[in-house]
Structure 1
Amino acid sequence: MKIVIIGSGNVACHLARAFQENKIPVSQIFGRNESDLKSISHQLQIPFSTDYLADADLYFICVSDAAIGEVSKLITNEKCLVAHTSGSLPKEILEGNYRKASFYPLQTFSKSKNITYSEIPFFVEAQNNQDLELLKNLALNISKKVMASTYEKRKYIHLTAVFACNFVNHLFARAKEISDSQEIPFDYFLPLIKETTEKIEILEPKLAQTGPAVRNDQRVLKLHEELITNEEQLKIYKIMNESIKKMYEL
């Protein structure tokens, strides 16, 4: 089976690495950014092209959500299977007469950060059972956490991921603004962050909550609000504390 990956960003890079590590051959990586493609090709010894899309049995489109529809028009082989890797779009976004699917890895990717691919959950969807089994078996070569999922379910998976990952990382960035303003090394907070994330592996997040809001400690809450001079930080602080209070009916 010939596999081609379309894209040169974080997802394309890591999917190519995951395939290589698990001895799944990739015939080509295709995209617009020649510099990034050359880097991936050099690391993984996969042929690349910016102008010629190789013929394949299976294409993975790993580009931004806004570009998926347009990029999918480049594939003219009507006998192939095409899967995008978006968590928030239906397989029908793909424009072509080929068979359509989605292959969604639930992880945040950065090219410079190594990942244990066997721990990544994959959610797959296809138009028929044969293609679904093909994608499930391909994912099972990488990870033990593989699940068939409809688009309706995947939308909620992606929404949950935004709360659990993107919002949390934004809070890290806002927290660093505060520590930087007082010349406190942010590294000193990493053990706290590590303990917080490790704790929810053994406790329900609701049971793991600590802090002044869950204690309804009005003195500390008022003190913190007086310390915050940044309008956005203060807005976030108040919204988060109100949400905590409502969850615990305080």
Structure 2
Amino acid sequence: MTISCDVTGDGPALVLLHSGVCDRRMWDAQRPDLVDAGFRVVRCDFRGFGQTPPADRPYSNADDVLTLLDSLGIERAALVGASYGGQVALEVAALRPGLVERLVLVCSALPGHEPSDELEALDERENALLDAGDVAGAVELMVDTWLGPDADQSARAAVREMQRLAFDVQLAADDVDSLEAEVEVDLTEVRAPCLALSGRHDLADFREIAAQLPAVLADARHVELPWAGHLPSLERPSEFTALLVDWLRGAAR
């Protein structure tokens, strides 16, 4: 199965991996500027998100991304991953270090991370709402949790739309296991220069993950965004894009 994607522009490949409450549309504000900056921008939807149907057999999102890039003939790429997409980016970089030349991890998850009581409680509240059939309530919980104070109404509407679609698609599908938990990745294999971004208004789990990545990866720098929550690309799109382009160009030099 090839996951749904779009490819825009020419130049070095830049792959954008979405968070677990969004789909590839979370990068709508960034795509034109990244193309203008000279990148070939690849965006994809994980299984059960956006335009990619849910899985019908055990799967790995990292393997899906690698299969997609192989099908596009991409041998070298920079990866930008938000939240769960950051975890997928790390897995891709560990599984095939020669493919990934730069990494940007935005409020990233981490393979093997033990969730805090706060994150576990959030998961329980989400599941309770979904089990009760209150999908709208679960959507609002996600919007309120993951967007920081600078998010405007258009950002909230965008996350609301993307999360509602994901819930509707996934709740209607049969349960299929992800293989991520069974795949062991060695993060010492990651060689790409990495910018790890965190948001001061994000949950503690993701702030702590970003802060520890310089000690885990061979070449990583942590930067905290004082204005950001969990989805800075949606909260201050222009500022985030400028930071992204500056770092990608600097890392390339």
Higher relative contact order (CA 8 A, sep 6+): 2
TM-score normalised per structure 1: 0.29
TM-score normalised per structure 2: 0.28
Structure showing greater Rg: 1
